Amino acid sequence: MMTPDQRQAAADAILTAERSRQTCVQPSKTWPEMEIEDAYDIQARWAQARIAAGARIIGRKIGLTSRAMQMASKMTEPDYGVMLDDALFKDGARIAAGTFIKPRLETELAFVMGDDLKGAGCQMHDVMRATEFVSPALEIIDYRTEVPRAITDTIADNAAFGAIVLGGRIVRPFDIDVRWVGATLSKNGVIEESGVSAAIMGHPAAGIAWLVNKLAPLGDGLKAGDIVLCGSFTRPVDIASGDVIFADYGPLGSIGVSFE
């Protein structure tokens, strides 16, 4: 375990890396005794600093929802981070690529909560009942630390969250079968990836139920209005200045963004 001062030093290093657009040394390399509990505390300290500077939490993101990614990270469960209002973009946005260090992009679904949801024993049907809307979304992931990264480094780095892009057609959760939302992801006119939302733990709501149960011992949970990214169902695609991205969700519409 790390000391409180070590945790704060790690959070400060990630903040500096974010602001300077220069990666920092992996916390797990500086403090080999670092554990998962340390990582989430570092993440919370980073978030508190961003909030103190004027940012506002708009929801949560869930990562490592596929078995392949868990095995690659030597994890047996997903991880999570927070999303801030200054990292929210809309369909058609022109995004400065220099905002990020080495950005990659994934197709996801965003659940918008209609009711508060907290407490142990949360199930998928609880998530569906508490969700007001489901929307196509893109997540931009970014690393503020050097690689290779241990899972503790990724968690401390806010689960690699960079930004979220919302667009497409907003639907109510029971108006479609959310397991079978498909999407293709194109970069500069070439389809790079495709997938279906059932790849997210068998059901996109499964990851959100996991998150609610994970937050329960901390006395935390989801609030009405929160946006929750439930995990990617395509491989991340590298993006750079000049790239044009188009994600086609079929009946749920599309999202287009460009990077400059």
pLDDT tens digits, one per residue of 150-178: 999 999 999 999 999 999 999 999 999 99
pLDDT value at 201 more than 70: yes
What pLDDT is attached to residue 66?
Answer: 73
- Can you name the residues that pair with 24 across neighbouring β-strands? 145
- CATH architecture label of 58-259: Alpha-Beta Complex (3.90)
71, with CB counted inside 10 A (0-12, 13-18, 19+), is: exposed
Domain ranges within the chain, ordered by starting residue = 58-259
Using pLDDT thresholds of 50, 70 and 90, give the confidence band for residue 77. Answer: confident
Bridge partner residues of 88 (DSSP): 164
Q: What is the mean pLDDT of residues 183-202?
A: 96
- Of the two residues 71 and 89, the one the predictor is more confident about is 89
Distance (Å, whole) CA 90 – CA 110: 13
**% pLDDT > 70, the chain:** 97
Longest pairwise C-alpha distance within the chain:
51
Rounded-to-integer distance, Cα 137 and Cα 89, Å: 10
Long-range contacts made by residues 3-6, C-beta under 8 angstroms, separation at least 24? Answer: 6/31, 6/38
pLDDT in tens, 62-72: 998 876 566 65
